[in-house]
Amino acid sequence: MTTHPAATTFPIQLRLPGQAAAPNGPIDPFMMYVLHHAFRRDLADFAAAVPRTKLDDAGTWRALADRWTMFATALHHHHNGEDVELWPLLEERCDDAEKRVLEAMDAEHDQIDPILEECHAGFTTMAAHADEQTRSELVDALVRAQPILGDHLAHEETDAIAIVQRRMTMHDWEEFEAKMGKQSGLGEMLRMSPMMVKGLSDADRQVVFARIPGILKLLIKLGGPRFRRLDGRAFYYLDR
């Protein structure tokens, strides 16, 4: 088992709205929490926007479909990175109880994927030809998706991250994050990075920006205008 220094040297853990836990330890998985905040926020926004969007506004439905693809791609990349890189590393170091938690993480990913595909099909149909029945089915799928994804994120924050804190070093975590970054590629990061920090309060944004590398700050800035145009069009009816 990895041995860590005294708890007084541990980083202050980030806590964002909706987050279930932030286990103490040597690792600073703040970007994990930022992504989880973005996933919760986006799914709630989609569930609220779809019933309000006018059926005859084809441009907004196309924007919603494109914005859903951005969300789903980010979530898939996040879960795939955990399945391929993070959980196998931890399994080599875990006891039986911890392995059961990681097995649950895999199983929960398998539960999430089908309902995301259901939502994707709904958005694709609505972008091509919106109708009330498809909208109703899409709303139902989005409402069902929220607790499934929300429960998984909470389980991960509460139990899986606690295992990360016990079994990994900061060097291990930095290597994992570097692999995730390489898998994304610069173009994808340019598109996705503004989505990650949308909706953070000024105080939370300040804390996050104090921790992220300069290149990510630049990508957020450069990708911001394009993201805000798509996001604004997609969620045009959200506050109306």
| pLDDT score recorded for residue 4 | 55
- Residue 223: predicted pLDDT: 97
The confidence score (pLDDT) of residue 240 equals 82
pLDDT under 50 in the chain at which residues? 6
pTM, entire model: 0.94
Predicted confidence (pLDDT) per residue in 104-142, tens digit: 999 999 999 999 999 999 999 999 999 999 999 999 999
CB 52 within 8 A of CB 238: yes
